Chain A
Amino acid sequence: MALTLAALGTAHGQTLPRLRISDNGRYFVTEGGAPFLYLADTAWGLFHFSREDADLYLKDRAAKKFTVIQAIVAHWGGLASPNAYGQPVFLDKDPKRPNELYFEHVDYVVNRAASLGLYVALVPIWSNEYVKAGASVIDKPTAFSYGKYLGARYRNQPVIWILGGDYFADGVEDIWRSMAAGITEGDGGAHLKTYHPKSPRSSAQWFHNDSWLDFNMLQTGHTIWNRNYDLVAEDWSRRPVKPVVDGEGGYESIADAFVPGGKIEAHDVRRIAYCALFAGAAGYAYGGHGVWGYRGNNRNAPAGGDSRHGPAPAFMDALQLPAASQMRRLRALLESRPMLARIPDQWLIANDYLGTVDRIQACRASDGSYAFIYTASGSKLRIRMVDRLYTKVSGKLVRAAWFNPRTGASTAIGTLEKKDFMDFTPPSSGRGNDWVLVLDDAAKHQ
């Protein structure tokens, strides 16, 4: 398996390369043009962890091949709520007065993440608690000054900016615009910016045409009926073209739709992740119940917390939820083929792509050199290889294989003579038996 550029960079103690948008406007690349998959873990309370917890956590996530950690600077727990060292984010809850001691700890965590090859996506202040129409703790000048402070402080660190935070921007659009302008003023536009909305929504609803919005972010719903593919498709269609990231899908092990009883399982999480990326997303943010809400209290005790979300495992256990270890398989698959050429194409599927929980989601290289078809429940696939004048998968011979999203193993089907329509039956079927059919132009990908 190829070492990532990010890992190579840190091997030499260098800072991670800056990120930018790919030339086709769809994906992320590093400064040098290497594809970058935004594969985040969500630890909104990261800056409230002790250093020991943060170290443990970041090492775990780096080992599991995540590339980004999503965290909040001014956490919903309260503007006066202290971090593990007694420091709140602002002095006297005043966003005009960032607390140097709090930010020294943030510096430590961001640097530690960088040393492990991880970018940190920072939410300056959680909108759902603090920035709503008629009830915002920041006005436009404060949004600007706080943004500028943050931008300047992390100008040379590997960060991404996520404005918003689980809320609608209605009525506070200009506050976010001010903050974006402040960040740009502070970091000279060094880092990418987006906005994290309420589900099921995209940042694009308010900001798609704003030049500060480098990419769109979705929140798609903590439900087994998550339909992020529709939201991704919608953003894929927008002009000008911008990448889209599913910034919050279904957290593993959380109560389905926040209704007690149901639970989002590992296979739901895999489905949501594969569907996002195959529908055209440039990235996906995973979240584990017991991690996303953790704020450094006691890593070995069940977190309790809000009853809506269902019982959460202890932080140490939550780190080992199955899908957390399986996301790397998705990354490995995507990185094993030319990533920037990937386009969504549901018309590869000639039969029924089924409803949400059994969803089949397909993508391919724009040049036809490969196709990936994800089936959430191991359903039979009928693939349209050629659509009259248009070739979907190129070449006369097609190499076919089953990729297992649970283990990352792939099983050869064989090299087949291409026909207009080809049928494939996955090795197993039923709930949780998800598979990716990988089709290669045999002449291109060896």
Chain B
Amino acid sequence: MRIMKSSAFLAVLALIASGSLPAHAQKLPGVRVSENGRFLVTQDGSPFFYLADTAWGLFHLTREDADLLLKDRAAKRFTVIQAIVAHWGGLGSPNAYGDAVFVGQDPARPNEAYFKHVDYVVDRAESLGLYVALVPIWCKEYVNEKGSVLTMATAYSYGKFLASRYKDKPVFWILGGDWYPDGVEGLMRAMATGIAEGDGGAHLKTYHPTGIQSSGNWFHNEKWLDFNMVQSRHMIYNRTYDLIATDWLRTPPKPVVEGESVYEGIQDELVYNDPNAKRIQPADVRRAAYCSVFAGAAGYAYGSHGVWNYRSSAGPPRGDARLGANLSFKESLRREAGTQLQYLRALVESRPMLIRVPDQWLIVNDPLSTVDRIQACRGSDGSYIFVYSSSGKPVRVRLRDKIHDKLTGKVARAYWYDPRKGTSTLIGEFAKTEPGDRPADLRRGDITREFTPPANGPGNDWVLVLDDAARNYPAPGQR
């Protein structure tokens, strides 16, 4: 191929290479569950990393705002946008063009004009390489133990309507919506049945629960639930890794996605009306993201305060006063962690992703908890290890556990990966047994080695990357 020396053309090439623009307006491939039941893959089996941004009010954005958001999120390497079809703002609440989701607030009568706008946004997302994860109706407001605007019949018919309409679009279905399904499990099942009827099972389905819960607590053994989703709660003391670990241990195995953890900039523990409340910092977000993924999650949903709650048509974002004053929508798009999570994606994609297994027993010393958490995973074939240290605490890694290699090969290659920048620094190569290893370990057949990150303290998070050098993997984060 002849290289055209046009800088504009090169810029386009770069965008294509970075995945932020599709080469053609071709359709995005369907997504299914990997053969080991742990992760998501596209139809041809390529790993798919669910890295979502949360824009629950997406369908209440103007076209201009939606374009801005989708372009921004595509450029930041997100792969999914999470959005609500029937938003909590009110069934009679119109979108930016005056159309409400239902005619007469009746879920049996979807409003064609509203859905034409949804079509536009979903198509626009697809053209940018983004999947949309759709919540049909927000359960916290509309379908719960106190009452439901859906009947079994309308849950089914609305599900079928939606799925038929988006059968050939790159979507996921997220039932529920920030609440417990207690007492309305049947309605969720009816909706899932309607969706499967409408799209022939083309798209994956899950359920979004309230904080510190997983869909697995109610629906794990149900066939319609393709993967689990957890919400781990908006708190500095977020412990997403415990929820992910619980789901990882369920049988049969299903992927688990961290669907809502800590929104960047929101008030800690969702404390209302307190100007002195602590806010969720970028480091808290990175910690939740890395810990959930290293604990075994197949994906992570980010959220920025000022984006998750933005609705162009509704004035100031919901929770403006209660959950902490917002930046503007545009400024909220530029929050720090929102630009940094692409490095998590780059890291996990730079090693065989589908063989990743959580393994806290890689850590010999204290894995600590929450704010200083150390979280570890590795390739099940022993070819690589990732250890995330939230505040740069040293970590002693078990490379061999008596008769089992955690890292294969004779020579290990070590790097520090910087989650803030996506850059890596080669520490070097070392023989897996060499003087300096603790005699007590060697006698037992263990091999352990201590690593001290380049910097420590709050916000100084690092990933230790250890490779079996013989595998010659690219530098962390590179393809």
A-side residues, CB < 8 A to B, are 168, 170, 198, 200, 225, 227, 230, 233-234, 237-239, 257-260, 308, 346-347, 350-357, 387-390
Contact = CB atoms under 8 A, between A and B. Distances in A.
B366 interface: yes
Contacts of B245: 233-234
A198 B402 contact: yes
B246 interface: yes
Contacts of B249: 234, 237-238
Interface string B135-152: 000000000010000000
B403 interface: yes
Interface stretch (B30-38, B437-445, B465-473): B437-445
A234 B370 CA distance: 19
A12 to B, nearest CB: 45
B367 A355 contact: yes
B251 A225 contact: no
B246 A237 contact: yes
Q: Which 9 A-B pairs have the closest CB atoms?
A: A237-B249, A355-B368, A356-B366, A355-B366, A352-B370, A259-B440, A258-B440, A352-B237, A389-B180
A164 to B, nearest CB: 14
15 contacts: A225-B364, A225-B365, A227-B360, A227-B367, A233-B245, A234-B245, A346-B239, A347-B212, A352-B369, A353-B239, A355-B369, A356-B367, A388-B211, A389-B145, A390-B180
B210 A388 contact: yes
A408 to B, nearest CB: 28
B118 interface: no
Contact of A168 (B182, B372, B403): B403
Given A237-B249, A258-B444, A308-B440, 15 more contacts: A170-B403, A227-B367, A257-B440, A259-B438, A350-B237, A351-B237, A352-B237, A353-B239, A353-B369, A355-B366, A355-B369, A357-B366, A388-B210, A389-B180, A390-B180
Interface of B: 145, 180, 182, 210-212, 237, 239, 242, 245-246, 249-251, 360-361, 364-372, 402-404, 438, 440, 443-444
Nearest to B242: A346
A234 B251 CA distance: 12
Q: Is the interface of B mostly helix, strand, loop or mixed?
A: loop
Contacts of B364: 225
Given A200-B361, A237-B249, A389 B237 contact: no
A354 B403 contact: no
Contacts of A238: 249, 251
A227 B210 CA distance: 29
A258 B445 CA distance: 13
Nearest to B248: A237
Contact of A389 (B182, B368, B370, B403): B182
A443 to B, nearest CB: 24
Contact of A225 (B242, B366, B370, B404): B366
A346 B241 CA distance: 12
B242 to A, nearest CB: 6
Nearest to A258: B440
A389 B239 CA distance: 20
A308 B443 contact: yes
Contacts of A233: 245-246
Nearest to B365: A225
A59 B371 CA distance: 47
Contacts of B370: 352-353
Nearest to B183: A389
A369 B263 CA distance: 35
Contacts of A227: 360, 367
A390 B179 CA distance: 12
B237 A230 contact: no
Contacts of A198: 402
B145 A355 contact: no
Contacts of A357: 366
Contacts of A356: 366-368
A237 B249 CA distance: 6
B442 to A, nearest CB: 11
A225 B369 CA distance: 13
Nearest to A421: B269
Nearest to B252: A239
Contacts of B210: 388
Contacts of A347: 212
Contacts of B440: 257-260, 308
A169 to B, nearest CB: 11
B369 A354 contact: yes
A237 B250 contact: yes
Nearest to A237: B249
B445 to A, nearest CB: 10
Given A259-B440, A355-B367, A168 B360 contact: no
A355 B361 contact: no
B326 to A, nearest CB: 25
A435 to B, nearest CB: 19
Nearest to A257: B440
Contacts of A239: 251
A52 B153 CA distance: 78
B148 to A, nearest CB: 15
Contacts of B360: 227, 230
A352 B371 contact: yes
Contacts of A200: 361
A170 B440 CA distance: 23
Nearest to B144: A389
Contacts of A390: 180
A271 to B, nearest CB: 12
A308 B440 CA distance: 7
Determine which residue in B239, B365, B366 has the highest number of CB atoms from chain A within 10 A of its CB, and name it.
B366
A355 B440 CA distance: 24
Nearest to B396: A225
A96 to B, nearest CB: 28
A156 B333 CA distance: 72
Nearest to A236: B249
Nearest to A359: B369
Contacts of B180: 388-390
A224 to B, nearest CB: 9
A259 B366 CA distance: 16
A230 B374 CA distance: 14
A353 B367 CA distance: 12
A356 B373 CA distance: 11
A230 B210 CA distance: 24
Contacts of B371: 352
A346 B240 CA distance: 12
A64 B251 CA distance: 41
